[in-house]
Amino acid sequence: MLHRPAGLPVAADSDEARQVAMQLLNDTGFVPYDAGVLPDSWRQQPMGSAYCTELTLDEVPAALTAADR
């Protein structure tokens, strides 16, 4: 069985686009996390606390909040 990460952050400018992306992740066996709008997406970029991690869905909000520019 393959390990499927939970809590993959998804950001988009429109709610509709974000929901489509989240549904695609869900359909492929991943657990998406609504990370809000694109201006806040820097929180999930390389070297951030939520980037390339195996966080649970419950751990993602704190990791995004802890991100430092």
| Rounded Cα distance, 58 and 27, in Å | 20
* pLDDT tens digit sequence for 37-54: 999 999 988 888 888 777
Q: Is residue 1 over pLDDT 50?
A: no
Please state the domain extents for the chain: 6-62
The pTM is what? 0.80
- For the chain, where are the E strands, in sequence order? 6-10, 31-34
Question: pLDDT value at position 14?
Answer: 95
Q: How far apart are CA 19 and CA 32, in angstroms?
A: 10
Cβ proximity of 8 and 31 under 8 Å? yes
